Amino acid sequence: MATAEQIKSLLQSHYKNDNDRFSSIALQMAAHEARKGNMAIAQEIKSLVEKSRTGAFKIIKLNRDVSDLVLVFHPEIRLNELILSEDVRKKLERIILEYKERDKIQKFGLHNRRKVLLSGPPGTGKTITASTIAGELKLPLYVIMMDKLMTKYMGETAAKLRDVFNMMNSNRGVYLFDEFDAIGAERARDNEVGEMRRVLNAFLQFIEQDSSDSVILGATNNIKILDSALFRRFDDIITYTFPNPQQIEELIRLKLSRFLGNYQLNKIVAAAKGLSHAEITNACNDALKETILADKKTVVQSLLIQMLKDRKVNYM
């Protein structure tokens, strides 16, 4: 039989939605049984844990109050699949490390950074960063639909926001307030001014009070319009930019992988300059599709340049 201590820890981790700890206690129990010679039960516990890790049991209960405002994802993407500046990568690694080691930090009265604002132009990797943090931490990603909050719940936005923040305690995860400008703007259109103020003030209050184990991310394309009171509530602000020549090259290598041809880099970089990561990714995918459909083995330079130029037209 498991020890009372193990059962207690198991229950605690269950109620805190801490799957990692739950699994590690279950494995300790399996080892305990194995030591006593109960091999069959040890094996059974181990295979249950394995199964849960492959996602066979992933069931998430969404509080009914917020089920139409929050989308749930289980991303598996990792940090090395993103092309980032050294500075941004270091900051993301720090968030991930501090989260994994939060017990160690908290013993000294410190807190891991887990309230983070992501800022930068569209298509530079803010949303995918949220997926990556969730993927690295093996947490679900909850995306809060800000526009729906403002339109559907006009008049009760603050109450809805409270439901979302309550959920952070019961469902540990990464919470992304995407397109944050929707509520964070200092000035709004006239008919929305009052409501925007209310929801912004509510947000400021909730994020300050929050002491959950969840990661809270806000993403914005336009940091300039955000209310300055917001910045103080975040532990960190991460700034995304368009890729530099070296990052353009890395991105194209990553996306074309085994279809990569021999290119004159300066020409490729010139064609891609001024495009976001997302646009370059799209151009690579366009070139890949054409190459695959023509039964060719590599993406030729002229095709890639053409696809990059086609993407650029959108910006002219």
Ligand X SMILES: Nc1ncnc2c1ncn2[C@@H]1O[C@H](COP(=O)(O)OP(=O)(O)O)[C@@H](O)[C@H]1O
Total residues at interface with ligand X (CB under 6 A): 15
Interface with ligand X, residue 83, by CB under 6 A: yes
Among 26, 66, 82, 287, binds ligand X (CB under 6 A): 82
Question: Which DSSP category does 38 fall into?
Answer: -
Q: Which of these ranges, 3-11, 12-20, 126-134, 252-260, lies near Mg ion under the rule CB under 5 A?
A: 126-134
Strand order in the sheet with 236-239: 70-73, 141-144, 174-177, 215-220, 115-119, 236-239
Cβ-based nearer residue to Mg ion, 29 or 116: 116
Determine how β-strand 115-119 pairs with β-strand 236-239. parallel
171 interface partner picked from ligand X, Mg ion, none, CB below 5 to 8 A per type: none
Among 13, 124, 127, 157, binds Mg ion (CB under 5 A): 127
Q: Fill in the per-residue mask, 250 to 289: x = in contact with ligand X (CB under 6 A), - = not in contact.
A: -x-------------------------xx--x--------
Please count the residues of the chain: 316
Binding piece for Mg ion, criterion CB under 5 A, among 75-83, 111-119, 120-128, 306-314: 120-128
Read off the amino acid at residue 188.
A
Which of residues 92 and 161 has its CB atom nearest to ligand X in the complex? 92
Q: Which long-range contacts (CB under 8 A, 24 or more apart) does 303-308 make?
A: 304/252, 304/256, 304/261, 304/263, 304/268, 304/271, 305/267, 305/268, 305/271, 307/283, 308/268, 308/271, 308/272, 308/275, 308/280, 308/283
Q: State the binding partner of 42 from Mg ion, ligand X, none, CB within 5 to 8 A by kind.
A: none
In angstroms, rounded to a whole number, what is the distance separating the alpha carbons of residues 281 and 258? 15
Retrieve residue 312's tokens. 């650029």
Is position 137 an interface residue for ligand X (rule: CB under 6 A)? Answer: no
Partner in contact with 277, chosen from ligand X, Mg ion, none, beta carbon below 5 to 8 Å by kind: ligand X
Q: What is the contact surface with Mg ion in residues (CB under 5 A)?
A: 126-127
